[in-house]
Amino acid sequence: MIEVRHLRKVYTRGAEVVALKDVNVTISDGEFVAIIGLSGAGKSTFMRCLNRLVDPTSGEIVIDGQDITKLDAEGMRQVRLKIGMIFQEFNLVDRATVLDNVLMARAGYLPTGRSVRRAFSKADRDLAFHCLERVGIVDKAYQRADALSGGQRQRVGIARALAQEPRVILADEPVASLDPRTAHVVMEDLRRINDEDGITTIVNIHFLELAKAYADRIIGLAGGVVVFDGPSAEMDEPTFVKVYGTRPQRMGVAQ
């Protein structure tokens, strides 16, 4: 379970920006949550606070009973092992093979010396192949990551997250760089993994349509606070106005 209490994030580099004012959210194990909101609403900041790629200014983030805002670097590293992350721009090592990109997820489980010698166990390699198989690109294992299409690259990203054997997957706009059809394929992959493995899945997403189609629950952020939190089906026009500040038809976004 993830409990976020009074989470606040103020960026102080340059001009002061209050990205998150006071966010309170509880996410149960196995949920599939979509986070929606306008550009600048604080979606990425919220997500990056959950694995502390961004350090919160104040507030608590309690994951399985442990307040991660209090952890030191090594403690945080241990927590991150169990949180997979998927990125809009995939964040793969282009020059490395698909397999090596996925094996990166196992490196954190090894002692430093063994990992930098790439002394992965048979079990680790089997797991990497298994994860590639689950997203349907096991035949690309020995290709360079930059030889793949956008959709395939994002599936490498998903396989890498899966190979961590995570309890939580964070996906920051995983389909924003993909065409609509590929976007659906990737969302289906995420949904299937959530159904099959019960991995808590939190997805930042621009398209309300996709959020409603794939998520159980939608959290709407606006101006650094939660303005909507409920089942996807309850997302109606007045709620839309709260989140996006305008009516659906004028946005050109399908409701």
Ligand X SMILES: Nc1ncnc2c1ncn2[C@@H]1O[C@H](COP(=O)(O)OP(=O)(O)OP(=O)(O)O)[C@@H](O)[C@H]1O
Residues within the interface to ligand X (CB under 6 A):
11, 13, 17, 19, 37, 39-45
The CA-atom distances, in angstroms, between 99 and each of 89, 94, 146, 170 are: 18, 12, 13, 21
CB of 48 to another protein, least distance (A): 9
Binding status of residue 101 toward Mg ion by CB under 5 A: no
Query: Residue 42's binding partner, choosing from ligand X, another protein, Mg ion, none, with beta-carbon cut-off 5 to 8 A by kind?
Result: ligand X
CB of 76 to ligand X, least distance (A): 18
Sheet holding 200-204, edge to edge: 83-87, 168-172, 200-204, 32-36, 217-222, 225-231
The CA-atom distances, in angstroms, between 21 and each of 49, 134, 204, 221 are: 13, 39, 18, 11
The smaller minimum CB distance to another protein, of residues 173 and 220, is found at: 173
Rounded Cα distance, 74 and 126, in Å: 27
Structure tokens at 192: 């299937």
* Contact (Cβ atoms closer than 8 angstroms) between residue 102 and residue 131: yes
Helices 150-163 and 180-197: crossing angle in degrees, nearest 10, is: 20
| 3-state SS class at 97 | strand
* Contact (Cβ atoms closer than 8 angstroms) between residue 55 and residue 32: no
Pick the stretch among 40-48, 93-101, 115-123, 144-152 that binds Mg ion (CB under 5 A): 40-48
The smaller minimum CB distance to ligand X, of residues 44 and 194, is found at: 44
Binding status of residue 78 toward another protein by CB under 8 A: yes
Structure tokens at 51: 């694995």
Q: Under rule CB under 8 A, which residues in 154-173 are in contact with another protein?
A: 157, 160, 164, 170
- Binding-residue pattern over the window 93 to 122 for another protein, x denoting contact by CB under 8 A: xxxx---x---xx-xxx--x--xx------
Binding status of residue 176 toward another protein by CB under 8 A: no
Q: Which residues contact 100 (CB under 8 A, 6 or more apart)?
A: 93
Binding status of residue 80 toward another protein by CB under 8 A: yes
* Contact (Cβ atoms closer than 8 angstroms) between residue 199 and residue 193: yes
The smaller minimum CB distance to another protein, of residues 109 and 129, is found at: 109
The smaller minimum CB distance to Mg ion, of residues 33 and 99, is found at: 33
Query: Residue 51's binding partner, choosing from Mg ion, ligand X, another protein, none, with beta-carbon cut-off 5 to 8 A by kind?
Result: another protein
The smaller minimum CB distance to ligand X, of residues 45 and 194, is found at: 45
Exactly one of 2, 20, 83, 227 binds another protein (CB under 8 A); that residue is 83
| Other residues' Cβ atoms within 10 Å of the Cβ of residue 15 | 6
The single residue listed with the structure tokens 């990205």 is 19
Residue ranges that bind another protein, judged by CB under 8 A: 51, 53, 74, 77-85, 87, 89-96, 100, 104-105, 107-109, 112, 115-116, 157, 160, 164, 170
